[in-house]
Amino acid sequence: AQTVTQSQPEMSVQEAETVTLSCTYDTSENNYYLFWYKQPPSRQMILVIRQEAYKQQNATENRFSVNFQKAAKSFSLKISDSQLGDTAMYFCAFMKYASGTYKYIFGTGTRLKVLA
Amino acid sequence: DAGITQSPRYKITETGRQVTLMCHQTWSHSYMFWYRQDLGHGLRLIYYSAAADITDKGEVPDGYVVSRSKTENFPLTLESATRSQTSVYFCASSESNLQGREQYFGPGTRLTVT
């Protein structure tokens, strides 16, 4: 069974600095997708970044980038130039759909606080 | 307004009562999902639906019932609420091609069962 582990329940970072959130997962699949979602205090969850497992290149979205290590089953999120608006809960998620079976597994989340 | 909405946003009910949480999306997304969010568990999938009249169980379906008579609506019913079902419930939708498609989440419903 697939599992997603976020080992850092809480983190804090000074404004303008860089922070890395960890995520590891366990799967026997070869083709799958990984996501980072952000849930601000207002609670509506939004996508931050996605990574296709078949792509070796790490995904980047403005200040957000990932370090995808497929062999190590690691998918960390780096936030550069942290802003106060980055304060949120961040969830790592694994997704696989094949042969009528759907899997979308979330980690337990990392609460990030950006300090002024 | 376009998007995905949930109602009610807050609900308090008693043990044993039936309660229905509503979810409505305006994008005509084929897939819709129900999750519950509990401290220490992240989000867990309750049920999902690939299209109208097609539903399937997720990770934690016991005690819940869903229906999807129309593409835009995906109500979740707790037939006999229990205290363990106190949680925040999120509805989400996704386009028809699931591969790599992100999910769009509603604002959530905080349900308390007393």
B10-13/B109-113 β-pairing: parallel
Nearest to A72 by CA among A53, A95, A59, A91: A53
Report the alpha-carbon distance of residue B99 to residue B47 in Å, rounded.
18
* pLDDT of amino acid A67: 96
Tokens of A49: 């970044």
A52 touches chain B (CB under 8 A): yes
Under an 8 A CB cutoff, do A47 and B102 touch?
yes
B28-83 pLDDT, tens per residue? 899 999 999 998 788 999 999 989 999 999 889 999 999 999 999 999 999 999 99
Q: Which residues contact A98 (CB under 8 A, 6 or more apart)?
A: none
B42 touches chain A (CB under 8 A): yes
Nearest to B94 by CA among B46, B48, B41, B59: B48
Q: How many CB pairs under 8 A join A and B?
A: 44
B81-113 pLDDT, tens per residue? 999 999 999 999 998 656 667 889 999 999 999
Tokens of B22: 């509503």
B56 touches chain A (CB under 8 A): yes
A58-94 pLDDT, tens per residue? 999 999 999 999 999 999 999 999 999 999 999 999 9
Report the alpha-carbon distance of residue B16 to residue B76 in Å, rounded.
16
* Chain B residues near residue A50 by CB distance under 8 angstroms: 100, 102
